[in-house]
Amino acid sequence: MKRWISITVLSIALIVTGYWGYRQFTEKEHLIVQAENNYQRAFHDLTYHVDLLYDKIGTTLALKTKETLSPQMLDVWQLTAQAQSDVSQLPLGLLPFTKTETFLADIGEFTYHVAIRDLDNEPLSEEETDRLTQLYQSADEIRKELRTVQHKVFSDQLKWVEVELALARNDRESPNHIIDGFTAVEDYTSGFDQAHFDNLAADFPSQQERFQFVDGDPINEEEVEELIIEQFDLTPDIELELQKSGEGAQLNTFSGSFSHEDQHGYIEITETGGHVLSYMINRELADASISLHDAEREAEKLLKEQGFEDIKRLRSSQYDETGLFQFAVTNDDVWVYPDQITVKVALDNGDIVGFNATDYYRNHHERELKDPELTLEEAQEFVSSSLNIEDQHLAIIEDRAGSEVLTYAFFGTLNNDTYQIFIDANTGNEVFVELKHDVELKWD
């Protein structure tokens, strides 16, 4: 009898273990498929946008009047922004691609400033026409290389998740058409004559100046493992997978992943100072049992533990069983929007399941704040009287060219819609207007 009981218990245990293993496998497969679909979409979007970029730059070379040239320049600027967004969604963090990203940023900066100036009084110079011609030729080379990679992706059914694994293993020896293609693009843009953009350098924050205030002593892999174990309260014997960013990255980082009980974790930490850039916890979430307000308190508690004291919540929103909160760091009561941090909280028990301070570490720097030329009341005169203003504050934001501007941020409603309006605190110009959808935007 005892034997049958033992067999039954063991059988049940085997079935439960098998089911758990199958469930873990299917969840992992689902995440891989989802990641691959996102990578494929971003890559094909990038190829398409660079194709359009080439066509648009070619069109601008044939135009002369302000009425036709300015809109084309704005189109080029928008396409470079889209291409940069596409690149940021690809798993290239371990592959040097900074020259190409800087090249795209330079195109955007150049075309934007040409587009917004008075071309009647200040038409394109011969030097600027030469720049456009070289940009046209460079865009042609880049699009051809991307088209070659795209053909290989289609014909050989290449997968981006395999690229990610190869980069994580630092496997550069095995043939990989995607890595080879992007390396060729990076090599080409590395040879582009930066002198064509030197006169813009004083007006724009260089991409290479990003992350310049990440400070502290370098940490090694052992210290990274200790930090991860402490961050997530893990057992010392847990198996961690660590990868270090490749040469040429804007910021040297360690990427770590682990599985513990019913959750999978991913974290990125700077080599300099051991700062946590971001992390994500994947686990099955139960029905929400805490309010968005209580979840916000948990997010604020985490930020204080991470050393962020002077913060203001920009917005909060709820997605299924999670709350998403975006915070801005303040400087003498000025809200600094570029130094932004996002926290994701599980609404079943208040656990932090997502954290991202990459924008903060990328943009943070010492700022010399000057008193605005306009008073709050004077700035408000530039806002439509139809808007019911509920709150306002001084804020530093980035304009469309990436330059920081001191503004008055006005928050209000009109016909049941919520708006954010940013007025230049020195000139009264409208810098940015945003219509918000389905988010809670009450400012403290």
Span 384-403, pLDDT tens digits = 888 889 889 999 998 766 67
- pLDDT higher at 433 or 183: 433
What is the Cα–Cα distance from 3 to 182, expressed in whole angstroms? 62
> Does position 66 have pLDDT exceeding 70, yes or no?
no
Residue 301 and residue 283 in contact, taking contact as beta carbons nearer than 8 Å: no
Specify the DSSP class assigned to residue 147: H
> Does position 360 have pLDDT exceeding 50, yes or no?
yes
For residue 99, how far is the Cα from the chain centroid? 17
pLDDT band at 196; cut points 50, 70, 90: very low
Helix (H) or strand (E) segment spanning residue 7:
helix 2-61
Tracing tokens 């051991």 back to the chain, one arrives at 274
Q: Give the mean pLDDT of the chain.
A: 77
What is the Cα–Cα distance from 43 to 89, expressed in whole angstroms? 8
What is the Cα–Cα distance from 334 to 153, expressed in whole angstroms? 48
pLDDT at residue 164, as a whole number: 62
Helix (H) or strand (E) segment spanning residue 264:
strand 263-270
pLDDT band at 200; cut points 50, 70, 90: very low
Token pair for residue 216? 């502290």
> Does position 171 have pLDDT exceeding 80, yes or no?
no
- Angle 2-61/126-156 helices, nearest 10 degrees? 150
Q: Amino acid identity, residue 94?
A: L
What is the Cα–Cα distance from 279 to 342, expressed in whole angstroms? 11
Helix (H) or strand (E) segment spanning residue 270:
strand 263-270
pLDDT at residue 436, as a whole number: 67
Pairing of strands 430-436, 417-424: antiparallel
Span 136-158, pLDDT tens digits = 888 888 888 888 877 777 677 77
How far, in Å, are 5, 54, 73, 188, 290 from residue 140 at the CA level?
73, 6, 17, 11, 54
Tracing tokens 């014997």 back to the chain, one arrives at 237
Closest CA to 341 of 323, 330, 354, 327: 327
pLDDT at residue 394, as a whole number: 96
Alpha carbons within 13 A on the beta-carbon side of 396:
24
Residue 142 and residue 188 in contact, taking contact as beta carbons nearer than 8 Å: yes
Q: What is the percentage of the chain residues whose pLDDT exceeds 90?
A: 21
For residue 224, how far is the Cα from the chain centroid? 23
Residue 53 and residue 72 in contact, taking contact as beta carbons nearer than 8 Å: no
Pairing of strands 388-398, 334-346: parallel
**Averaged pLDDT, 167-191:** 64
Tracing tokens 């928050």 back to the chain, one arrives at 411
> Does position 294 have pLDDT exceeding 90, yes or no?
yes
What the chain holds in terms of domains, given with CATH numbers, is 22-206 (no CATH), 221-363 (no CATH), 376-436 (3.10.450)
Alpha carbons within 13 A on the beta-carbon side of 165:
9
pLDDT band at 286; cut points 50, 70, 90: confident
pLDDT at residue 3, as a whole number: 55
What is the Cα–Cα distance from 412 to 393, expressed in whole angstroms? 12
Span 93-152, pLDDT tens digits = 545 566 677 777 777 777 777 777 777 777 777 888 888 888 888 888 888 888 887 777
> Does position 442 have pLDDT exceeding 50, yes or no?
no
Torsion of CA 51, 57, 61, 65, to 10 degrees: 130
What residues contact 305, with CB distance under 8 A and at least 6 apart?
none
